[in-house]
């Protein structure tokens, strides 16, 4: 249902992002989706004249994915966020918060991934 | 020269938001700035997977109080696209009216805070006095002053009566009148200009490559406003974009100030063209598939990525808020500026950290 | 430099824009969502729709026990329970409540189940 989406592998990611940058696209954000069983979908959204162009890569939790922050510096925050909340191992970020941008050291690891939530106390 | 590191925030008088900046200084000049967030992370995206998709409307409204209408709008428009719901025309216009009232109140809040940051108390009071009128009219039409909760999947929750429409026109005209008075103080005052002109300069190329959105980008000459996409009723209202080219704090003030006039015009045009009829349609079934929904907030573009799985719960709700996109610009704007300019400069990105961390 | 002086002088001689709260309060607007009002428990049929639709899990309904429980501190005053109630036994108060000193749960027990004949007579009212 998403328009302009291209499925690529993670080895193509840097090349495709470079191409986007060359075509004067603006980086919007990335979205990470947990598909269950440690499979992650990562969507990269780019915009030009209010038209979105999306890239989708598939990765496993803990798998190394290259950072695009060398091409788009503004991707730094969102890549740190993905690393913390989903456990996607993004390597080579321009600023690495070391997994503590949003979370404290004693917080649950990868809180956004598919986990079962137990009801605490009475409803 | 010896380098000193000065922590700025998370508690700072100029900013009610918990944003921490590590400023590496050489004398009074900043050489490096590293923003740090993480003081108000609430895990709202995870909570959205537990609630059903109707209840999520109330959840996303509480991501940010100041732009709650636009958050709800982005969410319900996404769900409506997924479920192929065509909402009545009246609901589209009502959404525009409430959204633009919200934009006025957000911009007046920011203008007031900004006046306070450069030490102009009377101007601050004047801005907030006008904002109060807008919030009163929101309470009269929707039932609450800030989190108005009018958007639901399939339309709006309430209608606006003709007496209230007349009242809205009266209030926005009054706001416009008062703004004309304040405009001179904000844009032409000698002392104010000393604090804003040339401070925190961001070129058009920098703004574009750093992904700046909203008034930040428009003040640097990047003509980008998602209201041009024509969602809700914006297509019929001949929306004019406000763009400045100076790229400094003065230009960002000017963009927000002039947008208030544009909001007033849009509200009056929407009331003028408001069609008669229903304002909501019944919703059956559950959303399935993926959708990206974007809406222009007072602070810039907000992106919702929604993934449904055919049940009443969503698989994923991703929110990229405008401040998240504007924080990287600080990495470029702060180095080279004076320590005394940091509060003013920081405020011009209109930071909303509770939005950013969700 | 004196652009704003006119407005300042006008403000000096005009009445204040603020109110002497709490001695002077503004009447709440007609449609205002202040706080969830007292339930009309004799009308309630304990269907539990308000409890399932509530986004903040503030309402708890026990059908067997015929009780309705409400936690005011969890309530976000969204008006959903009032809208979905099939017998309109909930309503919204205009004025909002003041601060609470302790966690307060409102629990209301309905009258024992009426006989079918009496219930039919009630529904025609």
Reported ipTM: the value is 0.84
B81 within a domain of the structure (yes/no): yes
- pLDDT at position A104 over 50: yes
Q: Which of A25, A77, A106 to mutate to test the interface with B (most CBs of B within 10 A)?
A: A77
User: B240 lies in which domain range?
Assistant: 40-339
Kindly state the tokens that stand for C86. Answer: 């099939």
Of A24, A50, A76, the CB nearest to B224: A50
Compute the nearest-CA separation of C76 from chain B (Å). Answer: 9
Closest CA to C98 of C69, C72, C60: C72
By the CB < 8 Å criterion, does B190 face chain C?
A: yes
Closest CA to C47 of C102, C3, C4, C84: C84
Contacting subunits of A (3+ beta carbon pairs below 8 A):
B
Look at A33 and B315 and tell me if their CB atoms are within 8 Å: yes
Look at B136 and C17 and tell me if their CB atoms are within 8 Å: no
B18 within a domain of the structure (yes/no): no
Give the architecture (CATH level 2) of A5-91: 2-Layer Sandwich (3.30)
In this predicted model, what pLDDT tens digit does every residue of A10-30 receive, in sequence order?
A: 888 888 888 888 888 888 888
Q: pLDDT at position B231, please?
A: 83
Task: Give me the percent of chain A exceeding a pLDDT of 90.
Answer: 0
By the CB < 8 Å criterion, does B54 face chain C?
A: yes
Look at C8 and B136 and tell me if their CB atoms are within 8 Å: no
Q: pLDDT at position C115, please?
A: 58
Look at B301 and A43 and tell me if their CB atoms are within 8 Å: no
Contacts of B51 (CB under 8 A, 6+ apart): B59, B313, C55
In this predicted model, what pLDDT tens digit does every residue of C21-64 receive, in sequence order?
A: 888 888 888 888 888 888 888 888 888 888 888 888 888 888 88
Look at B140 and C80 and tell me if their CB atoms are within 8 Å: no
Annotated domain spans of chain C? 31-123
Look at C33 and B129 and tell me if their CB atoms are within 8 Å: no
User: Considering only CB atoms, which chain B residues are within 8 Å of A78?
Assistant: 320, 324
Q: Which of B47, B50, B52, B55 to mutate to test the interface with C (most CBs of C within 10 A)?
A: B55
Whether the CA torsion B100, B103, B109, B114 is positive or negative: it is negative
User: Considering only CB atoms, which chain B residues are within 8 Å of A102?
Assistant: 37-38, 41, 357
The class that CATH gives domain C31-123 is alpha beta
In this predicted model, what pLDDT tens digit does every residue of B260-285 receive, in sequence order?
A: 999 898 898 888 888 888 888 888 88
Lowest mean pLDDT among B3-17, B104-118, C73-87, C98-112: C98-112
- pLDDT at position B135 over 60: yes
Q: pLDDT at position C125, please?
A: 45
B347 within a domain of the structure (yes/no): no
Contact C85, C49 (CB under 8 A): yes
Round the average pLDDT of chain A to a whole number and report it: 82
Mean pLDDT within C96-102: 81
The total domain count for chain B is 1
Where would I find the beta strands (DSSP E) of chain B? 3-8, 20-26, 29-36, 151-152, 155-156, 288-297, 300-309, 314-320
Mean pLDDT within C65-91: 86
């Amino acid at each position: 249902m998403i328009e302009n989406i291209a499925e690529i592998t993670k080895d193509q990611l840097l090349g495709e992002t470079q191409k986007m940058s060359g075509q004067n696209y603006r980086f919007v954000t990335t979205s990470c989706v947990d598909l269950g069983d440690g499979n992650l979908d990562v969507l990269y959204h780019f915009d030009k004249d209010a038209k979105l162009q999306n890239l989708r890569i598939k990765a496993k939790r803990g798998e190394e994915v290259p950072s695009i922050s060398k091409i788009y510096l503004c991707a730094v925050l969102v890549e740190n966020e993905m690393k913390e909340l989903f456990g996607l191992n993004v390597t080579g970020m321009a600023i690495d918060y070391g997994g503590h941008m949003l979370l404290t050291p004693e917080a649950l690891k990868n809180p956004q991934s598919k986990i079962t939530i137990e009801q605490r106390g009475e409803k | 020269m010896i380098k000193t590191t000065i922590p700025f925030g998370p508690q700072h008088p100029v900013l009610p938001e918990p944003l921490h900046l590590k400023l590496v200084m050489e004398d009074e000049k900043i050489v490096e700035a590293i923003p740090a967030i993480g003081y108000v992370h609430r895990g709202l995206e995870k909570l959205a997977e537990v609630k059903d998709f109707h209840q999520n409307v109330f959840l996303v409204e509480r991501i940010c109080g100041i732009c709650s209408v636009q958050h709800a709008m982005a969410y319900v428009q996404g769900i409506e696209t997924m479920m192929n719901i065509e909402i009545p025309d009246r609901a589209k216009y009502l959404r525009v009216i409430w959204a633009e009232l919200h934009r006025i109140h957000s911009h007046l809040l920011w203008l007031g805070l900004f006046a306070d940051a450069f030490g102009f108390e009377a101007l601050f009071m004047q801005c907030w006095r006008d904002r109060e009128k807008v919030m009163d009219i929101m309470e009269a039409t929707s039932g609450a002053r800030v989190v108005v909760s009018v958007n639901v999947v399939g339309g709006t929750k309430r209608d606006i009566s003709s007496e209230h429409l007349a009242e809205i026109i009266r209030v926005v005209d009054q706001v416009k009148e008062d703004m004309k008075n304040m405009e001179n103080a904000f844009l032409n005052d000698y002392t104010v200009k000393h604090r804003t002109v040339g401070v925190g300069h961001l070129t058009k190329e920098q703004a574009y490559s750093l992904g700046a959105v909203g008034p930040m980008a428009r003040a640097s000459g990047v003509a980008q406003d998602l209201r041009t996409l024509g969602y809700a009723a914006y297509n019929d209202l001949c929306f004019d974009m406000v763009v400045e080219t100076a790229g400094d704090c003065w230009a960002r003030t000017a963009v927000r100030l002039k947008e208030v006039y544009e909001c007033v015009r849009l509200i009056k045009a929407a009331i003028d063209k408001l069609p008669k009829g229903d304002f909501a349609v019944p919703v059956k079934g559950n959303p399935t598939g993926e959708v990206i929904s974007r809406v222009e907030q007072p602070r810039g573009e907000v992106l919702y990525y929604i993934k449904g799985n055919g049940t009443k719960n969503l698989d994923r709700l991703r929110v990229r808020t405008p401040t998240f996109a504007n924080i990287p610009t600080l990495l470029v704007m702060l180095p080279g500026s004076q320590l005394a300019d940091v509060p003013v400069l920081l405020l011009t990105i209109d930071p909303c950290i509770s939005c950013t961390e969700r | 430099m004196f652009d704003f002086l006119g407005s300042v002088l006008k403000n000096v001689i005009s009445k204040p824009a603020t109110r002497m709260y709490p001695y002077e309060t503004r009447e709440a607007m007609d449609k205002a969502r202040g706080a969830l009002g007292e339930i009309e428990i004799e009308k309630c049929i304990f269907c539990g729709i308000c409890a399932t639709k509530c986004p903040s899990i503030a309402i708890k309904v026990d059908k067997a026990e015929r009780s309705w429980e409400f936690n005011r501190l969890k309530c976000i005053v969204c008006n959903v329970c009032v809208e979905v109630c099939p017998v309109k036994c909930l309503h919204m108060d205009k004025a909002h409540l003041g601060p609470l000193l302790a966690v307060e749960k409102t629990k209301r027990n309905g009258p024992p189940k009426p006989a079918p004949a009496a219930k039919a007579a009630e529904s025609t009212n």
